[in-house]
Structure formats: C-alpha cells, structure tokens
Amino acid sequence: MTETISIFIGVVVLLGSLLSLVTTIGLIRLPDVYTRSHAASKSATLGVLLILVAALLYFWLADNYFSARLVLGIVFVFITAPVAGHLISRAAYYTDVPLWEKSVKDDLKTKARHEPKKEIEKRQKVHTEA
Amino acid sequence: MKVNDLILQTTTTLLTFIIVIFSVYLFFAGHYTPGGGFIGGLMTSAALVLLLLAFDKKTVQNALPFNYLSIAAAGLMISIITGVIALFFDVPFLTHTFGYVELPLLGKTALTSTLPFDLGVYLVVVGVAMTIIQTIGENE
C-alpha cells in the first residue's frame, strides 16, 4: 500500500467521523423532530458510508482481502437509513407532534386525512384496556 | 385511518432477501469465522419479523406457511440424531468427524458432521424466536 493511498483512506475515515459529529451537533441544536430527523438520516448515513468504504479499501489494499460483508453493509445502510428516517418522521406527524413554531408551510395538513386527537386517545384507551 | 405503507413494504421485500442471504452466510461461515447456528437463526427470524412489521400476520402466514413449533421440534430432532449416529461407530455420544469430500459442483469441500448439529441449533432458534414473537403479537 503506497503512501498516497493510506493518506486517502485516512482522509475518508476522518471525513466520515466529522460527518457523524455534525449529525450529533444537529441532533442537539435543531428545534423539532422533523429537522432533527433530517440531520440524523442524511449526514449520519453518509458518515457511516464513508467509514465503511474506507474500511473496505483498507482491507482490500493492505491485506488483499475483499470483504463482501462490507459491500453488503454499505448497500444495506444506504437503503435502510433514509427509510427509517421517513418512518420516524411520519409516525411523529400522525401522532400530532408539533412543527417548529417558526414553520411557515404545512402542505400535508390539508392533504392527509388527519385524525383528530380525540380519536387517537380513544384508541389508546381501548388498547390499554385490552 | 387508512395507512399507506408503500415505502416500508417495498424496501422490506428488497431487504428480506439481503438479510436471509446474510443469515445463510453466517450459518455456513460458523466453522472458520465468526457466525454459526445461533446468530444465523436469529438473523433469519429478524428477516421474518421485518416481514411481520411491514405486512400483517395473515399475509406472512400465507406466504410462508410454517408451523414454527414443529420447526423447533425438527431442529431438536436433527441435533439429537447427529449425536446418536456417533454411538453406532463405537465412539462416545456427540463425537463429530471431519473430512474432505468431492462434491459435483463445488469441488473439494471440507465437510464436518457438526454442520447438521448446527442446522438443528439454527432451526430451534428460528422456531422459538418466531413462536415467541407471534404469540406476543396476537391481540386476543
């Protein structure tokens, strides 16, 4: 493994860990669920992907071992992380988690058949009784 | 409320294949690398749980009509039989052998009698995990 390649791999790992750091800062600093999920699902995915790619390249070039598991992991994280973010945001929206107070637009409010809060409470009550 | 789970269901149909393939890989890798029957079985039941999360129980039961309790029982049976077979060769119970076999498609392959034992463990883990989850998951 040449010097250039090891420096390149180091840069990729550092970039990935920096992106993960940015994710955690976003999780602390951002105001509501939706913006936080935006931070968590995007930059964390890219951060993990970069670290995995660097690990793949390292084992490939240093030990001459091509890890199919890492490729599978890259594909898997790339598919699942955004879907998880989508599902968390959707669950939050349909359980009436409020938007940030400075939000200006909520297109889904008129489009989605929005269940009144009373209905949800009623269903939860039935659920706990059963 | 009518729920629209299109994104979840589409990704689930794709991901279940990846998870099942990885669990089979883990199962066969167990002899030389980390893995084995237990973690492979848990991974397979994770794929089945993902299916149960995305679709309702009836759909999954129609697609995969298994009785998980019988699967667990069959796994126990296989493990015991691999132990009992050793008794016929005048060696202690659960003695395992190892050898190289020429297979038609794969060529020279290392085969060991711990593999069917591990298959038993795998089936027991899948059967027990799915039985527990389906029993808890039922409403009534």
Q: A73: which chain B residues are within 8 Å (Cβ-Cβ)? A: none
Percent of chain A with pLDDT over 90: 60
Q: A94: which chain B residues are within 8 Å (Cβ-Cβ)? A: 1
Tell me which residues of chain B have a C-beta less than 8 Å from any C-beta of chain A: 1-2, 7-8, 11, 14-15, 18, 22, 25, 139
Mean pLDDT for all residues in chain A: 86
d(CA A53, CA A17): 12
Chain B interface includes A76 (CB < 8 A): yes
Q: Which segments in chain B show pLDDT lower than 70?
A: 1-3, 139-140
State the maximum Cα–Cα separation within chain A, in Å, rounded to a whole number: 67
* Residue in B1, B11, B25 closest to A79 by CB: B11
Reported as a single tens digit per residue, the pLDDT across A28-50 is 999 999 999 999 999 999 999 99
Residue A129, pLDDT > 70, answer no
State the maximum Cα–Cα separation within chain B, in Å, rounded to a whole number: 66
Residue A80, pLDDT > 80, answer yes
- For residue A109, count other CB atoms closer than 10 A to its CB: 10
Check if the beta carbon of residue B134 is closer than 8 Å to that of residue B56. Answer: no
Q: For position B71, what pLDDT does the model report?
A: 95
Q: A113: which chain B residues are within 8 Å (Cβ-Cβ)? A: 1-2
Amino acid at B96: H
Residue B16 backbone class (left: φ over 0; alpha: ψ -120 to 50; beta: rest): alpha
Q: How far is B52 from chain A (nearest CA, A)?
A: 16
Check if the beta carbon of residue B134 is closer than 8 Å to that of residue B46. Answer: no
Q: Give the model's confidence band at A123: pLDDT under 50 very low, under 70 low, under 90 confident, else very high.
A: low
d(CA B9, CA B52): 10
Q: For position A112, what pLDDT does the model report?
A: 60
Q: For position B94, what pLDDT does the model report?
A: 86
Q: Give the model's confidence band at A114: pLDDT under 50 very low, under 70 low, under 90 confident, else very high.
A: low
Contact B139 A130 (CB under 8 A): yes
Check if the beta carbon of residue B31 is closer than 8 Å to that of residue B114. Answer: yes
Q: What is the mean pLDDT of residues A57-73?
A: 91
pTM score, two decimals? 0.81
Query: Helix or strand or coil: residue B94?
Result: coil
Residue A74, pLDDT > 60, answer yes
Contact A72 B11 (CB under 8 A): no
Chain B interface includes A97 (CB < 8 A): no
